[in-house]
Amino acid sequence: MNNYVDALAAPMKNNGTIKLYGADAFAGMRKASRLTAQCLDELAAIVAPGVTTRQIDDFVFGFAMDNGIYPATLNYRGYTHSCCTSINHVVCHGIPGDKPLREGEIVNIDVTFVVDGWHGDSSRMYPVGEIKRSAERLIEVTYNSLMLGIEAAKPGNHTGNIGAAIQEYAESERCSVVRDFCGHGVGQLFHDAPNILHYGRPGEGVALVPGMIFTIEPMINLGRPGVKVLADGWTAVTRDRSLSAQFEHTIGITDTGCEIFTISPAGYTIPPYL
Ligand code: MF3
Ligand code: CO
Ligand code: CO
């Protein structure tokens, strides 16, 4: 039903075919993703009340320059920053700026580095000082959603199994799944086929086979799932202004399951990152 093609023989552009990658690509993705994860680890010590998201963005840019690598978002489709910083009811694609973070806020930082042509894409939630129990719970539910999706990412399953695992759990926790943004194939392209929906049913979508590489990046809301994009053309917010959280990993399908490329070298999972 779906078209898969050996990534080495495929045209680079996203023409809807699903690329299957070999050992060299997996090694490239491992290296790129590790640097992304290391940057996210280091950001744990930087996020604090009074810090601006521009300072966070400057750190990500500096990290990239220090390592001779490139932030994929910089000059991507007109975006001019090295990461996305999505605060509170911002669902994704928050633009770094000069407003200081305040105690009690939660912020997602989404970083993608290009290393030797390979893209490592990951995001995590960071609490700003002490946060409310409801925010803490949303962060836990969102992290668990991602990890349940990852558990479903294995040969024999379809992309729909990933979405179903996430949706079933998140909704059982009285949270909602954002429909307007999805995970994506990734590799030498930032955004490639297939789309990875964070809702759905088992058996729907694309069959998962060894060699596929993609992100899973559920956005989970405390309120209703609806989002709108602000006039800046990027910032997506919940329509009901309820709190939203997201975690993202880049993974590769193996013979027995999947490899998480963007796993934290420091061993961080959910905050507090100690
Ligand atoms: N890193 C985001 C993702 O997970 C994409 C950000 S694109 C940008 O796919 F242009 F908004 F930066
Ligand atoms: Co992504
Ligand atoms: Co991302």
> Does residue 272 fall inside a structural domain?
no
At a CB cut-off of 8 Å and minimum separation 6, what does 168 contact?
none
pLDDT digit string (tens) for 112-139? 999 999 999 999 999 999 999 999 999 9
> What separation in Å is there between the alpha carbon of 93 and the centre of ligand 1?
6
pLDDT tens across 82-108, in order? 999 999 999 999 999 999 999 999 999
CA 185 to centroid of ligand 2, rounded, Å: 8
Domain that holds residue 198: 4-10+17-260
Residue 265 lies in a domain: no
Output the average pLDDT for the chain: 98
In one letter, which amino acid is 146? Answer: L
**Residue 273 forms part of a structural domain:** no
Mutate to test the pocket of ligand 1, among 76, 113, 146, 196 (most ligand atoms within 8 A of CB): 76
d(CA 92, CA 229): 10
pLDDT tops 90 at residue 156: yes
The pLDDT assigned to 2 comes to: 72
The answer, as to whether pTM is greater than 0.95, is yes
Question: Tens digits of per-residue pLDDT, 184-225?
Answer: 999 999 999 999 999 999 999 999 999 999 999 999 999 999
Q: How many domains does the chain have?
A: 1
Cis peptide before 96 (omega within 30 of 0): no
With 70 as the cut, is the pLDDT of residue 1 above it?
no
Ligand 1 nearest-atom number relative to CA 76: 10
Q: What is the CATH number of the domain that holds 147?
A: 3.90.230.10
Q: What is the pLDDT of residue 116?
A: 98
